[in-house]
């Protein structure tokens, strides 16, 4: 089976500093993969390389067999890639609904129809409301984003990524900073993501790793240290040494 995502020999150098070092992973279609590691391990840099936000110094990135290593981020989206960011990237002065509509425009030809009244596009409104229904945010549709909670913003960001109909979804610490109740909302949302979508998630919480991921890649100082199913990685002595501290 052709992997949804295949990273081979990926390296990112900043002068003499290597942030990612000869990194390799293969993610199957529909797989749930966790990228685990301490702060400063290079996890977000890895995501930035995969999404095209920064260029690699060496190595290759393939999506469903196609080499996308040198493609712009917008081109990678056309291969089915979507992501969230560790720091929220939303439009705080717009309504919740307007944020979703902007996301839906990303892969829609109507974005070029600059003469049309954006608010009058009923089909776009309906699709945006459907997205909000899936994440239980429809009652907040007309509220300015600035008046919603941090947990609601996190759910909205995941909704925006899912609105792109991705085949690969990168989630950068979607549970960070959430209360226990908000974490449960997001975890329930992730469990409902269709198996047609491969999810690669960065997270620090080992409990989340064991409940969510089928396979785990442990990264430390930019290098892949342990890679395998969740039971094997959790029991590996290097995981205990690097991540658990003993």
Which pLDDT belongs to residue 206? 67
Q: Please give the structure tokens belonging to residue 94.
A: 């717009």
* Fold for the domain defined by 1-80+167-246: Rossmann fold (3.40.50)
pLDDT in tens, 181-203: 888 888 888 888 999 999 999 98
pLDDT in tens, 29-65: 999 999 988 888 999 999 999 999 999 999 999 999 9
Which pLDDT belongs to residue 243? 65
Beta-carbon count within 10 A of 190 CB: 18
Cβ–Cβ < 8 Å for 55, 237: no
Q: Please give the structure tokens belonging to residue 138.
A: 């429809």
Nearest alpha-carbon partner for 61 in 18, 11, 107, 1: 11
Tokens 């966790």: give the residue. 34
Cβ–Cβ < 8 Å for 232, 218: no
Q: Where are the domains of the chain?
A: 1-80+167-246, 91-165
pTM over cut 0.85: yes
């Amino acid at each position: 089976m052709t992997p949804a995502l295949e990273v081979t020999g990926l390296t990112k150098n900043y002068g003499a500093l290597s942030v990612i070092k000869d990194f390799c992973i293969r993610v199957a279609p529909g797989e749930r993969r966790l990228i685990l590691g301490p702060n400063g391990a290079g996890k977000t840099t890895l995501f930035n390389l995969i999404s095209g936000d920064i260029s690699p110094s060496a190595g290759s990135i393939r999506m469903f067999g196609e080499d996308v290593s040198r493609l712009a981020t917008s081109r990678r989206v056309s291969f089915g890639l979507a992501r969230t960011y560790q720091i929220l990237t939303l439009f705080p002065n717009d309504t919740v609904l307007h944020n979703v509509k902007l996301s839906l425009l990303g892969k829609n030809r109507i974005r070029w129809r600059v003469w049309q009244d954006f608010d009058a596009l009923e089909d776009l409104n309906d699709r945006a409301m459907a997205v909000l229904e899936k994440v239980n945010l429809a009652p907040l549709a007309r509220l300015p984003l600035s008046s919603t909670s941090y947990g609601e913003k996190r759910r909205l960001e995941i909704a925006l990524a899912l609105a792109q109909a991705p085949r690969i979804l990168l989630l950068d610490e979607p549970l960070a900073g959430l209360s226990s109740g908000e974490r449960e909302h997001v975890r329930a949302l992730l469990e409902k993501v269709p198996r047609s979508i491969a999810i690669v998630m960065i997270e620090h919480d080992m409990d989340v790793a064991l409940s969510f991921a089928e396979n785990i890649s442990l990264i430390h100082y930019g290098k892949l240290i342990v890679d395998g199913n969740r039971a094997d990685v959790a029991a590996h002595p290097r995981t205990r040494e690097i991540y658990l501290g003993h």
